[in-house]
Each structure stands twice: as structure tokens, then as C-alpha cells.
Structure 1
Amino acid sequence: MKPFKFKQFTVLQDRCAMKIGTDGVLLGAWTPISDTTNSILDIGTGTGVIALMAAQRSGAEIIDALEIDTEAYEQAVDNFEASPWGDRLFCYHASFQEFFEEIEDPYDLLISNPPFYAEDYKTSDEQRDMARFQDALPFEHLFIGASRLLSNQGKLAMIIPFKEEERSIEIAEQLQLYPQKITRVKGNTTSEIKRSLLLFGFNQIECEIDELVIENSRHVYTKEYMDLTKDFYIKM
């Protein structure tokens, strides 16, 4: 499995069940990060790509990541140490539930590309299944943890299947977390909406909603997608 080279860092992924994919890169590039964002937590970091993107995009002093799978955790640590931002990146080997029950310092930003193939059958690869299935991190846990870990003005950013958007908003609202920005993602102009990028916060404000199309035609990317990812992808 070849390393994935970005413009400013390289990600080894041979030990991770979930390889680098469009979802993670989209989320890492799309998540709003402000000058006041000093602490970031990437939940279920896998290769560490989202935390690395956050380090490239921000001056946040604390960029923590969390990974329950041992192989992926060790690989994320290696990827962090090899990057230009090794002094700001730290990975915890724990489940999110263990983590949010023990940690007391709040974060300004939580980012998660959660496992979400709830309806799919399981394969014989247990490691890959854990990375892909909700059993390991159901939405409820994500929002409960976020409601405890976020600072007052803190935000939670995530990417989920579009069909789960409504349900996740309902769960979040029970914990006083409200959608502030939603971007719905389509593969091309004629395809159905496949993913939702969601930003939640404690303030109930008017939610900004837009749409992102990835390709005009096969391997011909839209300007919007190229603008979003050009700081990362070498060929953009």
C-alpha cells in the first residue's frame, strides 16, 4: 500500500483499515477553523489525515486525535511525528466514551468522520468492520461526548450519509447542539446527494445550507471542489 502524498505531508496507511478517501479530505478541508480555535480533537482519526489537515490549516496549539484500533493508532502517531507539526499533534489510544468521561479540558473544535455503514453486512475483516460500522461509535455517543467536551462557543464538524442527516440533527438537538452550517455533497451534477457535511454549535442561529458537486464529468473536477482541496491534493 503506497503512502498518500499531500502537498505538505505524507500519510502512511498500510496498517489502517480505512484508507484515505474523499470523505475525510472533504471534511478536513471544509471544516470552518477560526483564529480563536486553539484546541482541536479529531475523533476516530484513522491515518491521522484530518488532524494533519487541521494542523496545516491552523495555528491551534493543541491538536489531539483519538483512535481505538491499535494498528491505526500506531500509524497515526508515526504520521504525526513525520509531519512538520509533530510538536502540536498528539494521539490518544482510547474509545471516545472512555475519553470524554475522563477529560475535563474543553475543546474549541471537534471533528469526526464517524463509521457509518450501519445497514451493511459485515465482512470477515474485523479491523475494517470496526472502522466502518456504527457499533464502535454510534451518533448518540458522538453527540453526548461533544456536549461535554465542547467549549461554550465550540463547534462539532462531521460528515455523514445524507440519509442520516435528519436523524443526526434530531439527536443533536436533544443535547442542545444545533446545526449552523450544512453542505450537501453530490458526486456529479446528475447524481443524488450522497453526503452531508454538518457543523453544530450550542447557539441556535440561522443555518447556512449549500451544495457541493465534486465532478463535472469523470475526473473533471468542479471549481468549487478544486478550490476547497487545492492546498492539499498535489494534482489540484
Structure 2
Amino acid sequence: MILFILLVLFFAAFLLIRRARLAVALTALAVFWLIAAGWLTAPLLASAQTVVASGKDLPPSAFAARTAIVVLGGGTEYAKNGTLIPKRDATVRIAVSADLYARCKRTATVCDVIVSGGNPQHHDAAEADTYLPWLLREHVPREDIILENRSLTTYQNARNVAAILPHGYYESLILVTSAYQMPRALLDFRRFGMTPLPVVSDTRHARRGVLPRYENLIGAEIALHELIGLAQFYVYRATGWF
């Protein structure tokens, strides 16, 4: 959507600024080539993504006697057979959360996996409900899974998770999401008084070259979305909205 808006702005400038139409057209071509070929997407992703520990880097001390593992929704999509399934990034988050759960159970008394994700795409089911069978297949028992299926944004993820956490019950809180979402997620969770231990499930990379690549456009769209979201957070906090 952000790249589409940028394209519309270039088109509007092309129509309105008659004397500079060639310059506008060449600029638009250059910008979108730099994005699609990865040369502009790479620094955008580097700015948006945070470098923190992966699940394998966590020491056993990260799992307290009562530990909650929060996994954020990463979207859903329809498979070829019409089944609603998690998107690629979400499947990695689910796998990482299940691995953390298995490690947690070796030392902790209580290990709960909180899945936070509503239905922003207006599909047949919320993200949390769609991810549930995938967690069950990863050997996370149903009684240790808490579903939060109303959140539509990262801010709502944090707000709604905070609302269902018993005050002072969990001694350790682990947050699992993709590298590009982690900076904004940590800001939002801290806004609601939580200081989770961040665990990055996956990181996006741009592929630089001459030919345009669709995945570079997706990476740029994600990076711009997160960077705008970070800017929005600070503006809202400065104005007292957050």
C-alpha cells in the first residue's frame, strides 16, 4: 500500500508539473528500480530491523518458574486448497515459540504460550485461532495455550496481552516476532508496563542486483510500514495520545 501511494504521488506529479514531466518520470523509474533491485530496500530493512537474540541464544536462566511466551500474529493466507494457513513469517514464529516452550518445560513449573493476533485481513478466522492447530502439531498442549484473537495492530497486541496477564504472576515474559516488527513491538509492550525478553524468529534480507525482484518490493513495503509505525509512536507519545 505504501509503495502504491508513492506511485500515485509520482503519477500526480507527472500530471501536474508539465515542465518537469521527464524529470519526474526518470525519478520514479530510478526510485522503483532501486527498490526492486534491492539497493534501496537493503538500507530500509537495516533501519527497520533490530538485532537481538534468537531462541537458540537464550540461556536456561531466561526461563523462570512461571514463564509466558508471547508470539505475535504475522498474517494468514489461503492455501491452494482453500485452507486458511499462517503466512511464511508466522509459521517461523510458531516454530520458534514451540521450541522455546519445549526448552521452558525442562526447567519451569508453568510455561504458557500466548498467541496474539486478530483478523486485520478479514479472513474466515483470526490469526490466533488459525495458528492454534499449528502449535498443537508442534506438541504444545492446548491447556498451555492462551489465545488473544482481537488485536488488529502491534499496539493492540501489547494492550490486549497486558490486559490478560495476571499482575505479577509470570516471572519471565518472552516476546517472539520477526526482526522487522520487534522494535515497534518492544516500544508498545513497554508502553503498557511490560519488559519482555525479545527473541527474533526471522530476519528479512534484500537481494541486490540488476534485475528487479518481487521479494525486494515486499521487503521495502514491510520496512516502510515499520519505520512509519515507529515515527507514529513517537509522535503520538509526544502529543499525549499514547
TM over 0.5: no
Q: Which has the higher strand share?
A: 1
Computing the radius of gyration from Cα coordinates, the structure with the larger value is 2
Q: Which has the higher contact order (CA 8 A, sep 6+)?
A: 2
